[in-house]
């Protein structure tokens, strides 16, 4: 079974390592039913991730619970072969309350998952 990594805030020794791999979700906390909401997923709040031929972020996926809603795939060189923050924005029509999470796949360090972001739809 595939291991899924998460950001461990108590592990200060590996803060930069965890930060550059962890997806962070930014979106509204609530929406009206039928409204299109913007969901931005960024890797790393502070530390940039490498973009080398053998070490890069190859995908970012958005989930509602266990259901895959959207996925973006990237090739090495997406960030100009320079360290940077991978960022993707998805647009979703809100129909019910959501428990969103994101996963990112690093070609060297595997799958990383965000904290859950709840969106109330009324």
Query: What integer pLDDT is reported at residue 22 of this predicted model?
Result: 95
To the nearest 10°, report the CA torsion of 117, 89, 60, 16: -70
In the CATH scheme, what architecture does the domain 14-121 have?
A: Sandwich (2.60)
- In DSSP terms, 117 is beta-bridged to 100
Place of tokens 């108590």: 10
Could you tell me what percent of the chain has a pLDDT over 70? 99
Q: How distant, in Å, are the alpha carbons of 22, 36, 104, 110, 111 from that of 4?
A: 11, 30, 10, 7, 5
Per-residue pLDDT reduced to its tens digit, 26-48: 999 999 999 999 999 999 888 99
Q: Do the beta carbons of residue 35 and residue 29 sit within 8 Å?
A: no
Q: Where are the domains of the chain?
A: 14-121
List the structure tokens of 81.
């072969």
Q: Enter the pTM of the model.
A: 0.93
Produce one character per residue of 74-98: b if its CB has 16 or more CB atoms within 10 Å, e if not.
Answer: bebeebeeeebbbbbebebebeeeb
Q: Residue 61, Cα to own-chain centre: how many angstroms?
A: 7
pLDDT band at 1 (very low <50, low <70, confident <90, very high): low
């Amino acid at each position: 079974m595939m291991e899924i990594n998460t950001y461990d805030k108590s592990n200060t020794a590996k803060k930069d390592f965890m930060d550059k791999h962890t997806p962070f979700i930014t979106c509204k906390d609530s929406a009206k039913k039928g409204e299109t909401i913007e969901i931005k997923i960024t890797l790393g709040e502070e530390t940039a991730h490498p973009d080398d031929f053998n070490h890069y972020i190859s995908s970012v996926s958005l989930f509602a619970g266990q259901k895959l809603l959207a996925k973006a795939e990237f090739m090495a060189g997406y960030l100009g072969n320079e360290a940077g923050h991978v960022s993707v924005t998805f647009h979703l029509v809100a129909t019910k309350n959501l428990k969103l999470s994101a996963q990112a796949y690093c070609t060297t360090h595997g799958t990383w998952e965000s904290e859950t972001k709840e969106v109330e739809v009324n």
